[in-house]
Structure 1
Amino acid sequence: MKTFIIIIVLCITTPLLAQGNCSKYYASKPGRKLIHKVFDKRERHSMTTEYNVESVTSSGIQVNFNLWDKRGEHITGGKLELGCDNRTTYLAPESIMTDLLSQYEDMEYTVTTTDRLAIPNDLEIGQTLPDASASISLNAQILEINFDIILSNRKVVRREQIETPAGTFDCYVITYNNEMRGRVASRSYQCTDWIAEGIGMVKQETYKQNGRLMSRSLLNEVTDY
């Protein structure tokens, strides 16, 4: 059976008790649904992700998620927990790498998070955010591949309005290095996230070291049910 621990940086702001513990730059309203479309380097639609906020407590947020490929065929789905503490929301660093990890859909893999990805409630331009890291083990039947994911040099660089099919959002822009270190080979990417209050990730771009776009994710729909 495939083991998937994939998600996209998701969204959350909540009511009452949970609101004091979680970051307002995530969608923590129970019943909120967010749909993102992922595009490849040629701007072709490659994947669709859906996140539904199921419940919120003072210690975290439970989310249902589903992924579909470009043909609309279901890839995977499940539940995930995001932690909340001291007005900060935490998630595993591999959660922002759906487009990269989806290439391993025919393999079993496990993820061990070392340092969770943190988004605080208070952001300002010029702010440096903590690094995050995780270790991934891939089972390719005849061989096991191990590598680490390290997100570093995370900085809040500016504020910017972003237009999407879901509407126009006032966002903080966060840039960071995304490195995959393995014994055989390593890869390094430059990433940019646009996050909005009450929504979380509105847009994300991943670039190769030569500056060429590798993938882009854009918020397509936000609904409350």
Structure 2
Amino acid sequence: MKKLFSMILLMFSACLLAISQDCTIYIPSDIGTELHFQTSNAKGKIQGIYSQKVISVKNIGGETHYDLLQTHRDPKNQEKIIIQDTISFRCKGNVFYIDMEKYLNQKQMEGFKGMEVKITTNDLIYPSNLSPGMALNDGSISLQVGSGIMNMTTNIINRKVEAHENITTAAGTFKCYKISEDVKSKMGFITVQLHNVSWIVKNIGTIRSESYNKKGKLDSTTELIKIVK
């Protein structure tokens, strides 16, 4: 009876996993895989380096949850860690979800320790079959500290698949989907508007991204420079 129960449980788990595997993911799926990125300003000067390492892949209630450890390092001394945080992704059915909490400024969040913080999100999603011209859903995150001491909101709108094209970085050449979006962030009386363009590929993620200010001038570029498996 115990063996029969174990077999049924195993088959049930396999069915759940099969359901979650229908979606196309835009991150690595193997634990231990590391992606290394480099961010430069408009003049090409390196401003930041960071890595993302897959540390957990779990099946929870028919969904596959992925956790990546994101580590930001000092560009002048790569042994020095500036900050680390965990970012999360999930697959449900044939849809890939990106946790909007990845857009929070972690340094600012450290300043809210011990305070009541309410976070509301509407996660970004990617359907399995992207194609040029396709419109994607909006995403948002809002944060309220205490009883309205501070409020922050970020809305990602006008998301669209622009093209399917090759992008080359130090990590190699990849056939990517080009995604454009507008980002509007507000903290108190301060409002920031950006236009982002990113190139993504399945089973890896972002290969290159560009951020433009509200005047349409390039602010920064981030590129994948190395994959470690």
Both structures adopt the same fold (TM-score exceeding 0.5): yes
Paired residues of 1:126 and 1:157 also in contact (CA < 8 A): yes
Report the equivalent of 2:121.
114
Structure number with greater CO (CA < 8 Å, separation at least 6) is: 1
Report the equivalent of 1:89.
96
Report the equivalent of 1:34.
35
Amino acid of the structure 1 residue aligned with 2:75: K
Supply the distance in 2 between the matched residues of 1:30 and 1:147 (Cα, whole angstroms): 33
Match status 1:186 vs 2:191 = yes
Give the structure with higher Rg (CA): 2
Q: Can you give the 5+ residue segments of structure 2 that lack an aligned partner in the other structure? A: 1-16
Report the equivalent of 1:8.
none
Distance 1:125 1:43, change over 3 A: same
Task: Give the Å deviation of 1:89.
Answer: 2.0
More helix, by proportion? 2
Paired residues of 1:22 and 1:121 also in contact (CA < 8 A): yes
Paired residues of 1:115 and 1:133 also in contact (CA < 8 A): yes
* 1:38-117 mapped onto 2 (5 Å cutoff): 38-58=39-59, 59=63, 60-71=65-76, 72=78, 73-95=80-102, 97=103, 101=105, 104=108, 107-108=111-112, 112-117=119-124
CA RMSD of aligned residues (A): 2.6
Supply the distance in 2 between the matched residues of 1:17 and 1:174 (Cα, whole angstroms): 28
Report the equivalent of 2:225.
220
Structure 2 length-normalised TM: 0.78
Supply the distance in 2 between the matched residues of 1:89 and 1:62 (Cα, whole angstroms): 14
Task: Give the Å deviation of 1:40.
Answer: 2.1
Task: Give the Å deviation of 1:107.
Answer: 3.6
Supply the distance in 2 between the matched residues of 1:124 and 1:52 (Cα, whole angstroms): 28
Task: Give the Å deviation of 1:120.
Answer: 2.1
Report the equivalent of 1:10.
none
What secondary structure does 1:128 align onto? Answer: coil
Distance 1:105 1:61, change over 3 A: closer
Match status 1:128 vs 2:119 = no
Q: Percent identity?
A: 24
